[in-house]
Amino acid sequence: MSQENILGNEPFDTIDPNRFNTMWIKDMNSDQFIQDMIKNDEPKTKKKYTYKKVNGYHILNNIPPERIHSGREDWEVEYSYNNEFFRSDHFTNQHDGLHILFGGCSNTEGVGSNIQDNWSYRLYKDISKENKTSGFFNIAKGGYGWHQIFLNFKVYVEKYGAPDYYFVLHPNMVRTYIWEEKRNQWKYIQRNKGDASEQELYLEYRNKFPDWVTAMSLFIAYCESVGTKFLWTTWADEQNENIIKSNFFKSTFFPTEKIDRSWIHQVRPDGKTEKDDINFRDGHPGRIYHELWHKSFKNELTNRGLIFNQKE
């Protein structure tokens, strides 16, 4: 299946689903495509791109999906994408050490921020201090919903082997495919707070919840079948009550706390926030949120006796 701006008007039944859906790049082997992308995006967005290729990594200061807020144009970010256009080490099927994989949407890819500030990379670095790891592997991409998070994991397993752990920061569950008859293709759409009335969004959650529970239950069974320990939470806290009440996911899910002044004081004892703390340059949740997600995953792993020692 395709997404908007991925495969043009190509009929959906000609698309190979067994490849990574790379979201904003069409030809993964074409440096010229990147140059054309830059030439197309710069005039529309007024961004000034820099691009270089180092050891097979594509390194840019901007990416097309990011919309930088006015006054933040000088907030520097470096994006480094591997040869399959994920913000990750190069994928490999040879793993020496713990094989850890991260998944999710833009909050896990790190749109708007340097990778060092991302919850997934910070958790990986903590794990690597005490364990031999095989690399930082991340298949998250901005705009992803549960459909791509599940399918991309399956593709990754078939190409590079099942990871020991798959950690996911789940988006809201109402992202979905719709069929565009005029363009003869599928389009993937997001539904967030502010996109619809509270009542409309409430009904969407209620309508889609049974399908999502079924899909998630089957995905967890798949992870178990390939020997991967799956642990996840969601930044969309409006889902937490239903997820907990469903009683299906105790072995894999944990809720995170909400950001409040007490948490800010844990990160900034003087209560004074710094640039990037609340929001990154494009408005995505900032450094304090990523620290919450990073610490929440680490605490949950510790409490469950996974990876980290209980004494920590």
pLDDT tens figures, 221-238: 999 999 999 999 999 888
pLDDT at position 88:
97
Rg value, the chain, Cα:
19
Cα separation, 265 vs 43, in Å, equals 42
Q: For a pLDDT cut of 70, what percent of the chain falls above it?
A: 87
Looking at domain 12-303, which CATH architecture does it have?
Answer: 3-Layer(aba) Sandwich (3.40)
Residue of 304, 301, 149 lying closest to 220 (CA atoms): 149
Residue of 290, 288, 252, 279 lying closest to 122 (CA atoms): 290
In this predicted structure, the answer to whether residue 2 has a pLDDT above a threshold of 60 is no
Average pLDDT over residues 214-221: 96
pLDDT at position 286:
95
pLDDT tens figures, 11-49: 444 445 556 766 666 666 678 888 888 999 999 888 999
Provide the 10 A C-beta neighbour count for residue 94.
Answer: 7
Cα separation, 266 vs 273, in Å, equals 11
Average pLDDT over residues 99-103: 98
Residues 6+ apart with CB under 8 A from 12: 1, 2, 184, 185, 186
pLDDT at position 15:
47
pLDDT tens figures, 276-308: 999 999 999 999 999 999 999 999 999 999 997
As to burial, measured by CB atoms within 10 angstroms (0-12 exposed, 13-18 middle, 19+ buried), residue 59 is middle
Domain range annotation of the chain: 12-303
Q: Are 66 and 111 in contact (CB under 8 A)?
A: yes
pLDDT at position 312:
39
